[in-house]
Chains A and B, each alone.
Chain A
Amino acid sequence: MILSTTLEFCIFIYLLIFSFSYFTLHSCCLLYLCFDNAGQFFSSGHTNNWAVLVCTSRFWFNYRHVANTLSVYRSVKRLGIPDSHIVLMLADDMACNHRNPKPATVFSHKNMELNVYGDDVEVDYRGYEVTVENFLRVLTGRLPPSTPRSKRLLSDDRSNILIYLTGHGGNGFLKFQDSEEISNVELADAFEQMWQKRRYNELLFIIDTCQGASMYERFYSPNLMALASSQVGEDSLSHQPDLAIGVHLMDRYTFYLLEFLEDIHPASKTNMNDLFKVCPKSQCVSTPGHRTDLFLRDPGSVLITDFFGSVRKVEITMETINLTDPIKQKPKQKDWHPPDGFILGLWTLILLVFFKLYGMKHLKHIF
């Protein structure tokens, strides 16, 4: 008896070790294969993407700022970030402005080539709701409990956030709606609050205003990368007017940014170094700037889709897997039952025999 149990025990242990080693080896092989094919895929460490897109100026002659924001919105949506993860703030309604000769449209290219308004735009903060206070509350998460989910930035410590600001700005400030300003110090402090509350993993900050580079001068929190359309002392210029609409449609930097983004698709491998090259001085007239010293990773290893697109756990493999002999399936066993009438007849027969044998006197005992 003892001999048989120890034998069983040994066999059990051996099987355990064998299965464990098999599985670990197999998974190692799996990981090795992954690293080779989509090596950077899991290296950024983020699990979701958010975007906060803000247009801060109102009035018809600031059409181009709304068009800027909407074209970034369009790119970001196209690359996969859903509306639930985008906070879009537009200070004025250009599409339904009385002066718009093509109502319900906002064009980014002249001759009305591209309507960035479309029919599925979801604006979260509109008109007079776009204020400095609301913007900072969205970033830091200090919103009243009654705020709906669509107006919140529900990011966590594994979120990559894209923040895009456009409007009129100056050295160290950005003008909101002709009545107030946000300073670069306030913005830097807001980002520090976000870092301390672990509201982001990495943050990309793009600003298209005059003297935009002054807005990122004061950042001091880690994992921030910033791009601006012009240096301190330079004006960002608008791109092209459309004579039928009568206003400038886009700013130069965002126009070329849009052109660049139109070539990106969710599986692109283009990295941030290409983004820094967008709109050189010959096209933009102003000198775009960027800041990467606070960012932990090397910009060359940061994909555009890390910020502009949304994460998909998709592993793309190029090798074909041959399926071996198909497993033959046994047909399902069906239990056999005798037919119903037969059962009824059988029981009647049994009853009759019973009563025949033991006589009718037992019948009153039964009933």
Chain B
Amino acid sequence: MGLLSDPNRRRALISLLTRLNSPICVVCYMAGVAWFMGLAFEPFTLRTYMSENAMGSTMVEERFPAGERALTTGREFSAHKKKAGGMPVDWLVKTMQARGLEVFTQRFSRKLPFPDENKERYMVKGTNVYGILRAPRAPRTEALVLSAPCTPGDSNNQAVGLLLGLAQYFRNQIYWAKDIIFLVNEHDLIGMQAWLEGYHHTNTTGMDWSPLQGRGGSIQAALSLELSSDVITSMDLVLEGLNGQLPNLDLANLFYAFCQKIGVLCTIQGKLQRNDWDSVSGYSHSVQTMMLMVMKQASGRPWGDHGLFLRYHIEAASIKGINSFRQYKTDVTTIGRLLEGMYRKLNNLLERLHQSYFFYLMPSLSHFVSIGYYMPAFGLLAVILLLRALDLWVQLATPPPRTEDGITDKEQVSSPGVLSVLTPLVISHLTGVALYTLPIQFQEMAVEQFPVSETEAVVLTAIGVYTAGLALPHNTHRLLSGEGTEQGWRVLKLVAVLYLAVLLGCTALINFSLGFILALTLVPVAAFVTPHVPKVLSAFILVILSPACTLLFSVFFFQELQELPVSFQEGWLLYLSVISQGILDHFLYGSLVYPLIALLVYPCWLLFWNILFWK
């Protein structure tokens, strides 16, 4: 007889499962965490390599000569920007036309749901200016994009100058097989979103924009440039995009290959590579780099202007020039040559980048961990949930023996009633919906009642709704009198555990970092919570491990990783701004982290809170 169909063996397996459930869960949890930490250990990672055959190696000759002229153009741009008090549209149009590009502009406007205090904007109106360099001999079917943001103040002037310098140089070459679009976008991400929506004829975020007069074909790759100084010491690559989406690894490989060829210092997450992987400090350096990437990916916000391209299946990355206190400086001509080399190689592409990985983590610029290697870490955590579910199923199927009562008790026990399970579910989800909708809806009322600004009103309303949810179990139990049974909470916990498993699994597939971080905190909650554990201590632990506190700790942790530790006051303010940014990201660009947490993760956690206070 088979292993599962033989009743004796089955009973033995089941008894093994129920006896050893907790130890196995603990072991799995430790193994999952250890696996994740081991990902940064260099022998477990792979060296990056170029997968796309058409891009080949870095054998091109870069001949860009005009770095100084680019800087002069940047200074002119800065002067005109100051004079115009925003984007110097006419000057840009004239300059791009003088360089032989086909120039078009796009106007856009957006009223934010509430004022953005970080960037100090509420009603945003702006213009994007872009020039298309037509390929001399090719049909206009494919395009590449080089963009630089127009930020107020003194930043990114050199980026625009370099963009215009490269435009002039590229115009004189005849080997372009794709159109190149040089884009200067205003109001960084909002302008970029307007341009992308206009280019692809979609309107997903309710922005108002004028249609684009000129297009260049399907965009194959895009680079966004941020450069605020005349000389730099290193170049930083930013990969994380909206909803934690990453560009194809080949783009990072291309960048790294050219950095090595030209001899520029290149970093990722602002951290340089180290060679001593076998020492403790070397390993912790890799772990820090990887954790920074995990944090940035989990936040679901685009960390550069490139982040919005990824949704349209356009591989994009941001390149930032950093000027620190090193002695060896790189000038703008070299940066221009690096970009020229990258664009010549992207020009050779025949298809979109698809040969390399789309899901990966990078502990350093030359090493990566692919999805096949990091998924088991999450899998081990998910297994805990499944083991718990099996245990509950077994407990439900074999009710505890009762000696005093006869058949009637069994009947009563075996059907706990759908209502007692459904009610907490519905109420939790309604709370979630309240958490999602109320902050925005009632910000006006809150501003009238309390002396706070709109942003603070929104954030504080969100926190208020969140904590109000904590009081629910006491209130709902007054409504449903005498429904609490032993079987009831087991069924609810079974449903909740499976629900959490599916939720975390789906999240981890799309955004591994978010799924893993949520799993780290929520899986222990799901595993140990029952109505019989000590109430006060468990309540405290549950609150600590709830999504909101996880976010709070993540904020502090992120600041530590970036070597900019903050005090508690600053940390709290940062936390509030993170919540408001998350809500804004959702409404402006369609980021899914806020709805996920509010509508799905928070109700799930509330279910466990309900179980804890089950009577």
Which positions in A face B, CB cutoff 8 Å? 59-61, 96-101, 103, 241, 243-244, 246-248
Q: Map CB proximity to A onto B21-59 as digits: 1 under 8 Å, 0 otherwise.
A: 000000000000000000000000000000001101001
Question: Can you sample 8 A-B contacts with CB below 8 Å?
Answer: A96-B137, A98-B136, A98-B176, A99-B177, A100-B175, A246-B344, A247-B56, A247-B59
Is there a chain A Cβ closer than 8 Å to B370's Cβ? no
* Residues in A neighbouring B175, C-beta threshold 8 A: 98-101, 246
* Residues in B neighbouring A103, C-beta threshold 8 A: 137, 174
How would you classify the secondary structure of chain A's contact residues: helix, strand, loop or mixed? loop
Contact of A59 among B138, B174, B350 (CB under 8 A): B350
Complex: A246 Cα to B344 Cα, angstroms: 9
Complex: A217 Cα to B137 Cα, angstroms: 44
* Residues in B neighbouring A244, C-beta threshold 8 A: 61
Are A99 and B61 in contact (CB-based, < 8 A)?
no
Complex: A99 Cα to B56 Cα, angstroms: 14
* Residues in A neighbouring B54, C-beta threshold 8 A: 59-61
Are B56 and A98 in contact (CB-based, < 8 A)?
no
* Residues in B neighbouring A100, C-beta threshold 8 A: 175
Complex: A295 Cα to B121 Cα, angstroms: 85
Are A246 and B60 in contact (CB-based, < 8 A)?
yes
Contact of B53 among A61, A101, A243 (CB under 8 A): A61
* Residues in A neighbouring B155, C-beta threshold 8 A: none
Complex: A96 Cα to B177 Cα, angstroms: 11
Is there a chain A Cβ closer than 8 Å to B323's Cβ? no
Given A60-B54, A241-B59, A246-B59; 15 other pairs, CB 8 A cutoff: A60-B348, A61-B56, A96-B137, A98-B138, A98-B175, A98-B176, A101-B173, A101-B175, A103-B174, A243-B59, A243-B60, A244-B61, A246-B61, A246-B344, A246-B345
* Residues in A neighbouring B287, C-beta threshold 8 A: none
* Residues in B neighbouring A241, C-beta threshold 8 A: 59
Complex: A238 Cα to B238 Cα, angstroms: 35
A353–chain B nearest beta-carbon distance, Å: 97
* Residues in A neighbouring B136, C-beta threshold 8 A: 98
Complex: A246 Cα to B341 Cα, angstroms: 10
Q: Which 9 residue pairs of A and B lie closest in terms of their CB atoms, listed nearest first? A: A243-B61, A98-B177, A98-B138, A101-B175, A241-B59, A246-B60, A98-B137, A99-B177, A244-B61
Complex: A66 Cα to B347 Cα, angstroms: 20
Are A99 and B348 in contact (CB-based, < 8 A)?
yes
* Residues in B neighbouring A60, C-beta threshold 8 A: 54, 348, 350
Complex: A247 Cα to B138 Cα, angstroms: 19
* Residues in B neighbouring A246, C-beta threshold 8 A: 59-61, 175, 344-345, 348
Is there a chain A Cβ closer than 8 Å to B381's Cβ? no
Is there a chain A Cβ closer than 8 Å to B101's Cβ? no
* Residues in A neighbouring B56, C-beta threshold 8 A: 61, 247
* Residues in A neighbouring B61, C-beta threshold 8 A: 243-244, 246
Complex: A98 Cα to B140 Cα, angstroms: 12
Complex: A97 Cα to B434 Cα, angstroms: 60
* Residues in B neighbouring A243, C-beta threshold 8 A: 59-61
Are B174 and A101 in contact (CB-based, < 8 A)?
yes
Q: Which of B37-88 contact A (CB under 8 A)?
A: 53-54, 56, 59-61
A103–chain B nearest beta-carbon distance, Å: 7
* Residues in A neighbouring B361, C-beta threshold 8 A: none
* Residues in A neighbouring B53, C-beta threshold 8 A: 61
* Residues in B neighbouring A248, C-beta threshold 8 A: 59
* Known contacts A98-B135, A98-B175, A99-B175: A61-B348 contact under CB 8 Å: yes
Complex: A263 Cα to B56 Cα, angstroms: 34
Complex: A60 Cα to B348 Cα, angstroms: 7
Q: Map CB proximity to A onto B321-342 as digits: 1 under 8 Å, 0 otherwise.
A: 0000000000000000000000
Chain A residue at minimum C-beta to C-beta distance from B345: A246
Chain B residue at minimum C-beta to C-beta distance from A100: B175
Complex: A158 Cα to B347 Cα, angstroms: 50
* Residues in A neighbouring B344, C-beta threshold 8 A: 246
Q: Map CB proximity to A onto B163-187 as digits: 1 under 8 Å, 0 otherwise.
A: 0000000000111110000000000
* Residues in A neighbouring B174, C-beta threshold 8 A: 101, 103
* Residues in B neighbouring A98, C-beta threshold 8 A: 135-138, 175-177
Q: Map CB proximity to A onto B351-367 as digits: 1 under 8 Å, 0 otherwise.
A: 00000000000000000
* Residues in A neighbouring B137, C-beta threshold 8 A: 96, 98, 103
Complex: A244 Cα to B136 Cα, angstroms: 18
B178–chain A nearest beta-carbon distance, Å: 9
Complex: A224 Cα to B472 Cα, angstroms: 90
Select the residue from A100, A101, A244 with max chain B CB neighbours within 10 A.
Answer: A101
Complex: A96 Cα to B137 Cα, angstroms: 9
* Residues in A neighbouring B345, C-beta threshold 8 A: 246
A347–chain B nearest beta-carbon distance, Å: 87
Complex: A61 Cα to B138 Cα, angstroms: 17
A197–chain B nearest beta-carbon distance, Å: 40
Chain B residue at minimum C-beta to C-beta distance from A59: B350
* Residues in B neighbouring A247, C-beta threshold 8 A: 56, 59
A234–chain B nearest beta-carbon distance, Å: 20
Complex: A97 Cα to B348 Cα, angstroms: 11
Complex: A13 Cα to B136 Cα, angstroms: 86
B143–chain A nearest beta-carbon distance, Å: 13
B396–chain A nearest beta-carbon distance, Å: 58
A270–chain B nearest beta-carbon distance, Å: 35
Complex: A60 Cα to B135 Cα, angstroms: 16
Chain A residue at minimum C-beta to C-beta distance from B344: A246
Q: Map CB proximity to A onto B100-136 as digits: 1 under 8 Å, 0 otherwise.
A: 0000000000000000000000000000000000011
Complex: A241 Cα to B348 Cα, angstroms: 15
Complex: A101 Cα to B177 Cα, angstroms: 10
* Residues in A neighbouring B176, C-beta threshold 8 A: 98-99
Complex: A248 Cα to B53 Cα, angstroms: 13
Complex: A207 Cα to B203 Cα, angstroms: 56
* Residues in A neighbouring B138, C-beta threshold 8 A: 98
Chain B residue at minimum C-beta to C-beta distance from A243: B61
A101–chain B nearest beta-carbon distance, Å: 4
